[in-house]
Amino acid sequence: MSFCGITEVILNQKVGPEHFLMRVLAPELTKKAKPGQFVHVRCNGVQDPLLRRPISLHGIDYEHGTVSLLYQVVGRGTQLLSEMRVGEEIDIMGPLGKGFSIPDRVEQVLVIGGGIGVAPLFPLVQALKRYNINQTILLGARSVEYLIGTDQLASLGLKVETATDDGSHGYKGFVTDLMEKHIKLAKPDYFFACGPNPMLKQLVKVADKFGMAGQISLEERMGCGVGACLACVCKTVAGGKDKTVDFEYRKVCTEGPVFKANEVIFDD
């Protein structure tokens, strides 16, 4: 972590039915920020320790020293965040966690976002672009209003395909169906994904079927955000020294939120 303290909100605007884009000044934080990392934001002015919430880095402006957060209002914390005004002070810490890493020798990748899971994918697709890696973006949401960021991604010259549960935009059905179609057609060699756990679970099954490796970013509930409280653990295949155990628990806040897709165990 390179920054923990008070900074200023310079933008907080509604961009979807329940979605807001916030920008904050944080030059110290941007210096070390990487795609897939997150910040832990205190959602109100008072010292309420229960009100820090993890939000992904959606935009990292290294030149101007700002970070953008794209968030969906789902409860008290995000509601309070949406009520903050430009010029108000905000308490953030970050960058936290381990983000995406781009493996050597990948040429063609799928980047898959479900719902608000699109948020951390923006800095990733920009990095992939800088590495000249061919990418197709698949976005899934319940309906067209919940597809956030499609136009911005397309304006970067990227191929974007969409799936909605109700068919109001793109393919009618799950983004995992779209993924399967795409794998059969274009045979990509790697994938990156972020979204709700049921989507990630299905997506890993599809990837397994085709022997495709990838990375997934998990959205577990968090407490401290820095590895101290164990609120955020997820089940993973055992990789430690103890060969007698099949699985182990790992902290999403410090060992994730991005994991190799074949490491995570999704229980039924």
Ligand X SMILES: Cc1cc2nc3c(=O)[nH]c(=O)nc-3n(C[C@H](O)[C@H](O)[C@H](O)COP(=O)(O)OP(=O)(O)OC[C@H]3O[C@@H](n4cnc5c(N)ncnc54)[C@H](O)[C@@H]3O)c2cc1C
Q: Could you say whether residue 249 binds ligand FES (CB under 6 A)?
A: no
Listed in order, strand segments (DSSP E) in 115-203 are: 134-141, 159-164, 171-172, 190-194
Is residue 23 within 8 Å of 10, Cβ to Cβ?
Answer: yes
Q: Is 241 in the site for ligand X (CB under 6 A)?
A: no
- Report the half-sphere exposure of 43 (CA within 13 A, side-chain side): 19
> Nearest CA to 124 among 34, 30, 63, 39?
34
Spatial CA neighbour of 101 closest among 226, 225, 216, 227: 216
How near is the Cβ of 221 to ligand X at its closest, in Å?
Answer: 5
Q: Is the dihedral of CA 91, 97, 100, 101 positive or negative?
A: positive
In the complex, the smallest distance separating the C-beta of residue 121 from ligand X, rounded to whole angstroms, is 10
Near ligand X by CB under 6 A: residue from 222, 234, 261, 264: 222
Closest approach, Cβ 6 to ligand X, in A, equals: 20
CB atoms within 10 A of CB 118: 28
Shortest approach of ligand X to residue 188 CB, angstroms? 25
Site string for ligand FES, 189-228 (x = CB under 6 A): ---------------------------------xxxx-xx
Interacting partner of 71 out of ligand X, ligand FES, none (Cβ under 5 to 8 A depending on kind) = ligand X
Stretch 113-152: interaction string toward ligand X, x if CB under 6 A: ---x--x---------------------------------
Other Cβ atoms closer than 10 A to 3:
19
Interface with ligand X by CB under 6 A: which range of 123-131, 143-151, 204-212, 216-224?
216-224
**Binding residue count for ligand FES, defined by CB under 6 A:** 12
- Who's near 56: CB < 8 A, 6+ residues apart? 36, 37, 38, 69, 70, 119, 120, 194, 217, 257
Binding-site ranges for ligand X (CB under 6 A): 38, 53-56, 58, 70-72, 74-78, 116, 119, 219-222, 257
